[in-house]
Structures are given as C-alpha cells and as structure tokens.
C-alpha cells in the first residue's frame, strides 16, 4: 500500500496514459473493487468469512501480476476490499478488547506501509509491482492457519439497516477523497515537478506518523469518546486540506500533506470499532460491505473528476471541493451519532 500510493499513477503515466485516462482507470478500479467487496461480504456472512478473504487475496495477486506485465486494465481488479471487512469481522470474533486490537492492527499495517513508501528510492516501478505479487502471496499464506468459529448464517436480513444507512456520510467522504487522494503523487509531480524517489520520503514520513497516531487515537477516544475524537481530528484535517493546494513550495506542501493525512486517517480503528459495536455479529460482514460500498461508489467517480481538472491545469479546485464535502459529512456524522457516544 505504501509504495502503490506513490507509483501507480506514475507507472500508468509511463505506460502512455494521460492524466484523464489515469483518473478514469482509478475510478474503474474503485468501482469494480466495491462490487467485489459487496459480493464477498454477503457470501462471507452466508458461508463463513475466511474462505472468501482468501479468494479476495487471490484476485488481488493475479491482478498485480498482469499489471506487472504492463497491462493497465488489470489494475481494476487489484482493489479487492472484500478481504478488509471480512478480516475485521474475524478479528472482532477473537478480540477481548476490539478497540486496541484494531488500533494495533492499523499501526502495524502502516509501519509496513512506511517501508513500502521508501521502495521507489531503490526499485523501479515494475520491480515494486513484482514485489506486490510476492507480498500478496505471503499475506495469503498467513490467512490459511486462521481458525473461524462463525460458520455462516443463511439469513440475509439486515436488521441494522437504519444504523447502516446513517453511515452514508462515508459516501460523501468517498467522493471527496476520490477527487484528490489517489492522484496525490501525480499532483506533486504536476505542481512541483518532483519525481517518485523525491516524494518517497514524504509519503514514508506520512505513513510513519500515522502508524503511531492510529494507536494513540484509541487512547484519545477513551478520554473524549469515539464520536468527538473522529469529529475533532477530521475538522483540523479539513482546515489543512484547504491550505494544501495554496502551498508555495514542495517543503511546505509536504508538511501540510503529512499532518493532514495523520489527522484525517488516525481514527480509522476507532471508526471501525464504532461500526462493529453497532452491528450484530451475524450481520457484520455484509453491513461492513454495504458501508464500504456506499463509500466506494462515489470514490470511484472522484478520480475521473480530479483527473479532468488536473488535465486542464487546475490543481486547486479539486481540493476545495473535497474540503467542502468533508465538512458536510463531518457535520452530519456528529448530528447522527452524538447520542451513540457511550458505545
């Protein structure tokens, strides 16, 4: 994840795709990934989650192999997010303290992502993609020995649909994020002319600080509450998002980028724990899949819009649109969930 956030758009650019075409391909990847995720999450609740998490990882592995061979369209199958929701459900089954388990998982994930962020300094794009294939195979092998008590429920009823529908705020977040986040390395290149190896330490620092703050957000939530922690950190991140495209040079832009990334994403384990606590165990896979789906569809539209503006030379407006969307979603989240703070 750490290396791919830097190289994917640049690799596609090296294959001859324009900024608009890159945005469209990134959009298609999110769209396909969200459908795969939704299908796997429903199947996981029906027949058990482990086997479909394995299938998800297999799809991702094959996709990266064909992307390594220079086939751009293969990218659309690399985002098999179904594994994420299924693994969260598995983790919830086994954890006595879900908040801390999710926080530790997030921190470890990001620490490894830091290593990935440094890879463009030492490896060419295709070398990193081949490494992607190997890493996915390792991740697949680590899934095999996991035991699962939940064997599936043949009922597809979603009793928590009212709660799930409130997480439509994630759809607004997804649209905003899709406009700029997948294209950040391309933005740095177009704005300041920096190359992948030059921006690599910035992305690594961003991931490293996020790793420690992610676990810290769990401790912060214990003091402030989950909802307030999410709202406060997101609000500060939104202010920085408005300032980012106005940065006069690469150094200042990098500092804002790092701090904004931490504030916006550090509460991921708190958010995931909050969601899982609101959903009955037998519905967690599909509920998580529906929330991801609601977030993913608008996110799929975003890169095409952002790619269009970048292609036209407008490197500011997408950030402002994202900032307003984030603000609206954060306000709605607080209004809808402030009474659930005690969970």
Is 3 within 8 Å of 133 (Cβ atoms)? no
pLDDT bucket at 191, cuts 50 / 70 / 90: very high
Task: Judge whether residue 256 has pLDDT over 90.
Answer: yes
pLDDT for position 177: 87
Q: What are phi and psi of 216, to 5 degrees?
A: -65, -30
Residues 12, 21: Cα–Cα separation, whole Å: 9
Residues 193, 257: Cα–Cα separation, whole Å: 16
> Region 306-312: what's the mean pLDDT?
88
Most confident of 66-70, 75-79, 88-92, 204-208: 66-70
Task: Judge whether residue 81 has pLDDT over 60.
Answer: no
> Region 221-233: what's the mean pLDDT?
89
DSSP string, 160-225: THHHHHHTTHHHHHHHHHHHHGGGHHHHHHHHH---HHHHHHHHHHHHHHHHHHHHHHHHHHHHH-
pLDDT for position 41: 77
Instruction: Give the mean pLDDT of the chain.
Output: 83
- For 184, residues 6+ apart whose C-beta sits below 8 A from its C-beta are 5, 257
Task: Judge whether residue 105 has pLDDT over 90.
Answer: no
Count CB atoms within 10 A of the CB of residue 256.
19
DSSP label at 158? -
Task: Judge whether residue 321 has pLDDT over 90.
Answer: yes
Maximum alpha-carbon separation in the chain: 57
Is 202 within 8 Å of 120 (Cβ atoms)? no
DSSP label at 119? H
What is the percent of the chain where pLDDT is above 70?
Answer: 93
Count CB atoms within 10 A of the CB of residue 214.
26
What is the percent of the chain where pLDDT is above 90?
Answer: 23
Residues 244, 255: Cα–Cα separation, whole Å: 9
Residues 111, 119: Cα–Cα separation, whole Å: 13
Q: CATH fold of 159-342, please?
A: Growth Hormone; Chain: A; (1.20.1250)
Q: Which residue do the tokens 């482990």 mark?
A: 50
Residues 32, 289: Cα–Cα separation, whole Å: 13
Token duo for residue 103:
């926080």
CA atoms within 13 A on the CB side of 320: 6
For the chain, the first-to-last Cα distance in angstroms comes to 31
pLDDT for position 251: 94
Burial class of residue 62 (count of CB atoms within 10 Å of its CB; 0-12, 13-18, 19+): middle
Burial class of residue 38 (count of CB atoms within 10 Å of its CB; 0-12, 13-18, 19+): buried
Whether the full predicted model's pTM is greater than 0.85, yes or no, is no
Task: Judge whether residue 276 has pLDDT over 60.
Answer: yes
Task: Judge whether residue 185 has pLDDT over 70.
Answer: yes
Higher pLDDT, residue 219 or 334? 334
> Region 252-259: what's the mean pLDDT?
95
pLDDT for position 252: 95
pLDDT bucket at 241, cuts 50 / 70 / 90: very high
> Region 78-97: what's the mean pLDDT?
70
pLDDT for position 231: 93
Q: Which of 68-82, 168-182, 191-205, 236-250 has the lowest mean pLDDT?
A: 68-82
Q: What are phi and psi of 171, to 5 degrees?
A: -65, -40
pLDDT bucket at 131, cuts 50 / 70 / 90: very high
- In the chain, domain spans: 1-145, 159-342
> Region 91-100: what's the mean pLDDT?
75
Count CB atoms within 10 A of the CB of residue 104.
16
> Region 281-295: what's the mean pLDDT?
73
């Amino acid at each position: 994840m750490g290396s791919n956030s830097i190289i994917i758009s640049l690799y596609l650019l090296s294959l001859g795709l324009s900024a608009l075409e890159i945005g469209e391909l990134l959009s298609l990847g999110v769209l396909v990934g969200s459908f795969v995720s939704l299908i796997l999450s429903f199947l996981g609740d029906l027949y058990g989650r482990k086997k479909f998490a394995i299938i998800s990882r297999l799809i991702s592995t094959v996709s990266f192999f064909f992307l390594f061979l220079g086939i751009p369209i293969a990218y659309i199958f690399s985002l098999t997010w179904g594994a994420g929701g299924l693994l969260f459900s598995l983790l919830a089954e086994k954890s006595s303290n879900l908040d801390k388990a999710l926080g530790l998982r997030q921190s470890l994930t990001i620490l490894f992502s830091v290593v990935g962020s440094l890879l463009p300094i030492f490896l060419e794009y295709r070398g990193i993609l081949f490494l992607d294939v190997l890493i996915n195979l390792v991740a697949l092998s680590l899934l095999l020995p996991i035991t699962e008590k939940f064997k599936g429920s043949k009922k597809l009823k979603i009793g928590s649909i009212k709660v799930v529908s409130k997480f439509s705020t994630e759809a607004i977040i997804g649209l905003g994020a899709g406009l700029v986040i997948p294209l950040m390395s391309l933005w740095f290149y177009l704005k300041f002319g920096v190359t992948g190896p030059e921006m690599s330490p910035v992305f690594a620092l961003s991931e490293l600080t996020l790793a420690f703050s992610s676990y810290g957000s769990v401790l912060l939530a214990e003091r402030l509450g989950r909802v307030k922690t999410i709202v406060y950190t997101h609000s500060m991140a939104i202010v920085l998002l408005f300032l980012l495209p106005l940065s006069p040079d690469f150094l200042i832009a990098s500092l804002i980028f790092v701090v904004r990334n931490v504030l916006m994403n550090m509460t991921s384990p708190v958010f995931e724990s909050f969601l899982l606590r609101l959903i009955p165990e037998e519905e967690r896979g599909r509920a998580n899949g529906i929330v991801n789906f609601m977030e993913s569809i608008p996110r799929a539209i975003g890169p095409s819009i952002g790619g269009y503006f970048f292609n036209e030379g407008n490197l500011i407006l997408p950030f402002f649109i994202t900032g307003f969307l984030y603000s609206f979603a954060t306000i709605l989240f607080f209004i809808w969930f402030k009474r659930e703070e005690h969970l």
